[in-house]
Amino acid sequence: MVEKFTKSLRENAGMRWLVLSIVAFSMLTAYMFQEIISPLQSMLVKAYGWSASDFGLVTGAYGWLNVFIFMLVFVGILLDKIGVRISAITAATISVIGALIKWYAFQFIDPTLELGIFGLKTQVFVAASGYAIFGVGTEYAGITVSKIIVKWFKGKEMALAMGMEMAFARLGSFVAMSLAPIIVANFSIPTNIFIGVAMLLFGLVLFIIYFFFDVKIDKQEGLSKTGLSDDEKFQLADIKLIIANKGFWYVALLCVLFYSAVFPFYKFGPNLMINKFGVDEKWAGTLVGLIPFFTIILTPLFGFYYDKKGKGASIMYLGAALIIVAHLILWVPSLSGVAFAIISIIFLGVAFSLVPSAMWSSVPKIIPEKQLGTAYALIFWVQNIGLFGIPTLLGKVLDKTNPETVKLLADKRAEFEATGISSEEIFTKMEEFIANNNVTWDYSKTWIIFIVLTILSLLFAFLLKREDRIKGYGLEKPNIKNEEKTEEVTE
């Protein structure tokens, strides 16, 4: 008698990669909106009179709710409870709502209005609030997609799949960094943001399409809606097991330190390129946007190497070392000129390809699958502390270390506002004033923050590598298992 069985969709390579394309493109739309104003700091100063602190507050607001109200921990537990398909749609919906609020702030709120509390402008507060809500949805989507990839690629090309997903996401960052200044120059800042909102709506549609694939695979594999059998389902007591795991904390701390040395650079890097390296304002965002462009190519390659050959802990250690070199070039005052700017971007691009290519696919080797959603959420929560704190700190330090520039720009803008001219005319006059008077910002003291972050990230990469040797997580071993495919014939 021949025992017949039906292979699940995950055993079909074409279906696996189709599913990955669907969820990865949805993440592309989220990362595109995440960087939608990153290359516009100088334009926001001219158009709305924002200070570096205002810019740092809004770009750092991404982590407000995730960090202070523990929304990331909550949605991680929710993910392990309700499963990936409902979580994906819920996450995308939250992202769209937050993005719409941010767009509303730029489209309809007068930039001169004062909030009356915390000494904030109304526009800044509303934009930051919308971005905070968007941050909840996008981080929820991120951990959901990570668990989707584990579900479809475990024991197969998991690091490559995660690398490809990150490549799609970084492509979104590259598009936003490159096109935002062009869109603003030809249309307006609100139009640029609305394009990002439209892309997020498309991402929501893609998650709805994924819903049906997920239903199918669960039926084929006889799983519950969470994708786990009853005895494997997450329990709240599992949180204690996660936080007691030393390897988990090394990954989480490496994540927050390393990402805090990269993502805030997207926000402040373009202005640094203009002021330190003499890069033209129109191309500064594009140059910084090359960092995610490098990852589009290199992250899948490094992930493929990890799948086939292993060496995950070593890959992360090398990436942490390279990013120190990159930020030293950005920091040292005597290293100026476009050539050094390009060299620093190359080092950042390679480093930012190495660490994520191995880090996210290493977590399932440290944490059991039933705890993965919560584990990823806790890592993202720690990461969001950096994504909130570092941009805010950078903006404050930049203002404090450039008091003359801050006062000069504020006084000149107030002078133009007193004449009653429009915001567009103020923008043009501020642009002319800055160019004619060679108004610049000194980033040398501010960049020490990045140097400290990179050194600490190397320390925790070393500790993770050592812990792997002690505990035998298998981070240096390949991800792809050598499984023999056999057909059982029983008589």
Look at the block and give the residue holding tokens 């991680």: 76
* pLDDT tier at 489, thresholds 50, 70, 90: very low
Task: Report in angstroms the alpha-carbon separations of 22 from 14, 142, 208, 280.
Answer: 12, 14, 10, 37
The answer to whether 366 and 245 have CB atoms below 8 angstroms apart is yes
Q: How far is CA 126 from the centre of its chain?
A: 21
To the nearest 10°, report the CA torsion of 122, 41, 39, 402.
-140
Say if residue 163's pLDDT is above 80. Answer: yes
Q: Kindly report the pTM of this predicted structure.
A: 0.76
Res. 11: pLDDT tops 70: yes
Max avg pLDDT among 232-241, 370-379, 476-485: 370-379
Pairwise pLDDT comparison (266 vs 310), residue with the higher score: 310
The yes-or-no verdict on residue 424 having pLDDT over 80 is no
pLDDT, residue 231, reads 47
pLDDT at 484: 38
More confident residue, 203 or 371: 203
Any idea of the CA torsion for 370, 373, 375, 381, to the nearest 10 degrees?
A: -160
* pLDDT for residue 371 is more than 90: no
Residue 177 near residue 285, CB atoms below 8 Å? yes
Pick the more confident residue, 70 or 484: 70
* Sequence spans of domains, the chain: 9-402+441-471
pLDDT digits (tens, 9 = 90+) for 293-345: 888 889 899 999 999 999 999 999 999 999 999 999 999 988 888 899 999 99
Q: Specify the CATH architecture of the domain 9-402+441-471.
A: Up-down Bundle (1.20)
Per-residue pLDDT reduced to its tens digit, 215-245: 998 888 776 555 555 445 556 677 888 889 9
Residue 209: what pLDDT?
97
Structure tokens at 127: 């934009």
Residue 87's pLDDT is 96
Confidence grade of residue 422 (pLDDT, cut at 50, 70, 90)? confident
Predicted confidence band at 161 (pLDDT cuts at 50, 70, 90)? very high
Q: Look at 145-149, 230-234, 365-369, 455-459 and tell me which has the smallest mean pLDDT.
A: 230-234
Residue located via tokens 């600490």: 456
Helix, strand or coil for residue 27? helix
| Contact indicator for 88, 128 with CB cutoff of 8 Å | no
Residue 311 region, left (φ>0) first, then alpha (ψ -120 to 50), else beta? left
Lowest mean pLDDT among 5-19, 77-91, 463-477: 5-19
- Summary mean pLDDT of the chain: 88
Cβ-count burial 389-413 (b if 16+ within 10 Å, e if not): bbbbbbbbbbbebbeebbeebeebb
Residue 193 CA from chain centroid, whole number: 18
pLDDT tens by residue, 196-219: 999 999 999 999 999 999 999 888
Give backbone dihedrals phi and psi of 2, rounded to 5 degrees, phi first: -95, 125
What does the pLDDT read at residue 392? Answer: 85
The count of other CB atoms within 10 Å of the CB of residue 420 is: 7
Q: Is the pLDDT of residue 4 over 80?
A: no
